[in-house]
A and B are shown apart, each in its own frame.
Chain A
Amino acid sequence: EADIYQTPRYLVIGTGKKITLECSQTMGHDKMYWYQQDPGMELHLIHYSYGVNSTEKGDLSSESTVSRIRTEHFPLTLESARPSHTSQYLCASSRGTSDAGELFFGEGSRLTVL
């Protein structure tokens, strides 16, 4: 069973609010990721991190920002939420080796912006 946790699981907020989606893992993985999953099910990488103090933008442009101050923690922040940000956000982590590289996923945070 993967030890990666996301909170909140569900969030409904109004336009203009600042939100932070939390992601924590207890596996000591160096690499962490945020994926956005749209209603059509496809996943898009929006942020990733190689380790502490490392953050990179993914393939899909996103207005969100991330930080990696501690190995186990990789929060995602939206300064001013809009309805277009409504989506499911999935956090994942993996070991820092060049093996097959299994991603361990959290259960997701479903965000609805009214």
Chain B
Amino acid sequence: GEDVEQSLFLSVREGDSSVINCTYTDSSSTYLYWYKQEPGAGLQLLTYIFSNMDMKQDQRLTVLLNKKDKHLSLRIADTQTGDSAIYFCAESSNTGFQKLVFGTGTRLLVSP
């Protein structure tokens, strides 16, 4: 079945850039997503990228997709303490039904 892998933990200092990486196995993935989960809360969609795109930028967020290597990354510029959270990579294939497969999540800790 599909598999999505992420590193478990990343620690950065405030003001630095953070890069969270994700690899997936499903070559039929159509959409790839980044969700954020703050403590005690549900997941919230940060951004997504369609599989025929290489890059998407949205304010401080940059998503890079290497479809050949099945590698997705999320770069957060000027990381703030409020960015501390768990970040989930997810993928879905275009079945008309949003059955997402989530990664293991990366806990980002931003220190002052």
A74 near B: Cβ within 8 Å? no
Q: Is the CB of B45 within 8 A of A103?
A: yes
Shortest Cβ distance from residue B63 to the other chain A in the assembled complex, whole angstroms: 13
B86 near A: Cβ within 8 Å? yes
Task: Encode B77-93 as 1/0 by CB contact (under 8 A) with A.
Answer: 00000000010100010
Q: Is the CB of B96 within 8 A of A102?
A: no
Q: Is the CB of A103 within 8 A of B98?
A: yes
Q: How many residues of A contact B (CB 8 A)?
A: 25
The contact of A100 among B41, B48, B88, B103, by CB within 8 Å, is B48
Q: Which residues on B sit within 8 Å (CB–CB) of A94?
A: 98
Q: A residues bordering B, Cβ < 8 Å?
A: 2, 4, 31, 35, 40-43, 45, 48, 50, 59, 90, 92, 94, 97-98, 100-103, 105-108
Task: Encode B9-38 as 1/0 by CB contact (under 8 A) with A.
Answer: 000000000000000000000010001000
Shortest Cβ distance from residue A100 to the other chain B in the assembled complex, whole angstroms: 5
* C-alpha spacing A106/B43, complex, angstroms: 8
The contact of B44 among A31, A98, A101, A105, by CB within 8 Å, is A105
Q: Is the CB of A101 within 8 A of B31?
A: yes
The contact of A43 among B44, B88, B97, by CB within 8 Å, is B88
CB-CB under 8 A for A100 and B50, given A43-B88, A107-B40, A108-B42: yes
Q: Is the CB of A100 within 8 A of B99?
A: no
